[in-house]
Amino acid sequence: MENTNLIESFFEFKEDKSVDRVMLMSILEEVFRAALKRKFGSDDNFDIIINPDKGDLEIWRNRVVVADGEVEDENEEIELNAARKIEPDFEIGEDVSEEVKLIDLGRRAIMTLKQNLIGKVNEHDNTNVFKKYKELVGELFSAEVHYVKKDTILMDDEGAELLLPKSEQIPADYYKKGYSIRGIIKSVELRNNKPCIIFSRTDSSFLVRLFEQEVPEVAEGLITIRKVARSPGDKAKVAVDSYDDRIDPVGACVGMKGSRIHGIVKELGGENIDVINFTNNKELFITRALSPAKVVSVKILQEPNEETGEKGRVNVFLKPEEVSKAIGRGGVNIRLASQLTGYEIDVQREGVEEDVAMTEFSDEIEAWVIAELNKIGLDTAKSVLDKPIKELVKLTDLEEETVLEVHKILKEEFEG
C-alpha cells in the first residue's frame, strides 16, 4: 500500500468528524511515530512530512554513514556500501536520508496503523462532544427523537446521541421518531471513552429554565426562584422572591389570567404549578407551602440538620375540613410542601379533642397498615375515621376488607 492511498482513505473517513487541520496533522504524526517506534525501536531519527492539502505523507529515515562492518545501531547507522546504493558519492560520517514506504513496515503494522488512526480521531471526536455538552449541563435544550426503546428514548443532535431514560420522562409524555422535544442536559460522563449524555424533563432545573423563558423578570434576575419541588407531570410548587418591593413575584410569574404559566403547564403535560412567595419566616413559609389549605397555626418541633441532611419536624394545625386539601390527592401536596420547606409535616386537627395516635393501636392493627395510612397524612384515629372507606382504599394500597377492619377497631375505641 502506498502512503498516499492510506492517507486518502483516512481523509475520507475524517470528513464526518470534527477534526481541524492542525489536530489532523498532530494525530497523523502521533500515530505514524508510534508505528515507527514499534518497527525500529525509536522514532528520534525520522522526519514525517504531511501535506493535508494534497493528501500525501512522506517518512524519511536519517542515518549516519559508518565503515562496512562497524554498524552498532542499525536504526541510526548505515554501512558505507549500503549508503552508496542510495547515492554513489556518500562518505563516512555523512548523513543519509532514505524514504520509508508503508510497505516497509509490514502488512500487519499497516492494519494496526489504520485502526489507530481511526481510534485517535474517534477519541478526539468524543472529547469534543464531551466538552460541548458538559458546558450545556443544566441548560434548556431541544433534540430530535431518533429511536424509541422500552426504557430509554435515544435522541439525536447533529450526530451526537442523547439518552432520555424512563426516570427522566414525564409519565404522560408521548414520543415518536422525528419529534423534537425540550428538556435539559442533566449530566455528561465519559463511559469507555464515549460521552454519555443524559437528557431530562423531570429535573427541577427544567422547570426553572421554562420560567426563565416565559417570565422576562425571572430571566432578567428581577425575580428569583428560591426553591422548587416537583412530582413530574402531576404537581409542582415554586417559591419565588423579588428584591424590588414594586414587583409582585407571584403575579408576574402567573401572568394576566394565567397567560405566562399556561405555556409552562402545557409543556409539562398539564402539571399543576403552585407559585408562592418565599419568606425567611419559617412558620409563614410552611403555611404558604401547604396552599391551598388554610393553616391555623404552626409549631416547629425540630430544625433541619444541614450537615446530615435530616429534615426538621413540624406540627401544623388545621380545621378538619382543610386537612384533605393540605394532604392532597395521594398525599402529593403535603409531600411537595415537605420537599420545599425541608420539614416533615405532621397534620393536627384543630379543635378535635380526645383523639388517639394510630401508633396506640399497634397491638390490634399491623404496623405496615398504620404506615400506609401515615403516608397520606392520617396519623390519628379520628383522621382515619373522617375519611370514607372508598376514599381510603383509593388513596392507599389497602384492601377494602382491611380498611373496614381498621374502622371497626377505631370506632370501638370511641364508642367503648
Residues 294/326, Cβ–Cβ less than 8 Å: no
Do the strands 194-200 and 180-191 form a parallel or antiparallel pair, or are they unpaired? antiparallel
* Per-residue pLDDT, 348: 85
Residues 298/316, Cβ–Cβ less than 8 Å: yes
Q: What is the set of domains in the chain, with CATH numbers?
A: 3-126 (3.30.1480), 136-202 (2.40.50.140), 203-278 (3.30.300.20)
* Per-residue pLDDT, 73: 84
* Per-residue pLDDT, 416: 52
Q: Tell me if residue 405 falls in helix, strand or coil.
A: helix
Per residue of the chain (416 residues), give pLDDT as tens.
444 455 555 555 555 555 556 666 777 777 788 888 887 888 888 888 877 666 567 888 899 988 988 888 888 888 888 888 888 888 888 888 888 877 667 667 667 667 777 676 677 777 778 888 999 999 999 999 999 998 899 998 877 889 999 999 998 888 999 999 999 999 998 887 788 999 999 999 999 999 999 999 999 999 999 999 999 999 999 999 998 889 999 999 999 989 999 999 999 989 999 999 999 999 999 999 999 999 999 999 999 888 888 899 999 999 888 888 999 888 999 999 999 999 999 988 876 556 788 888 888 889 998 988 888 888 888 888 888 888 888 888 889 999 899 888 888 776 65
Task: Please report where in the chains the cell 420560567 appears, as a residue.
Answer: 211
Residues 376/331, Cβ–Cβ less than 8 Å: yes
Rounded-to-integer distance, Cα 370 and Cα 410, Å: 12
Q: Which three cell numbers stand for residue 55?
A: 493528501
Residue among 143, 124, 115 nearest 16 (CA)? 124
Q: Which three cell numbers stand for residue 251?
A: 403575579
Q: Which three cell numbers stand for residue 111?
A: 492494519
Residues 188/197, Cβ–Cβ less than 8 Å: yes
Alpha helix stretches (DSSP H) within 79-184:
80-86, 107-134
Q: Tell me if residue 282 falls in helix, strand or coil.
A: helix
Which helix H or strand E contains 409, and what residues bound it?
A: helix 400-415
Residues 83/13, Cβ–Cβ less than 8 Å: no
pTM of the model: 0.63
Q: Which three cell numbers stand for residue 266?
A: 402545557
Q: Order of strands, edge to edge, in the sheet holding 223-231?
A: 223-231, 235-242, 272-277
Q: Which three cell numbers stand for residue 201?
A: 424533563
Q: HSE of 78 in the Cβ direction (CA atoms, 13 Å)? A: 21
Residue among 336, 332, 325, 273 nearest 295 (CA)? 325
* Per-residue pLDDT, 41: 84
Q: If you count DSSP H runs as helices and E runs as strands, how many of each does the chain have, helices first?
A: 15, 15
Residue among 29, 37, 35 nearest 57 (CA)? 29
Q: HSE of 119 in the Cβ direction (CA atoms, 13 Å)? A: 10
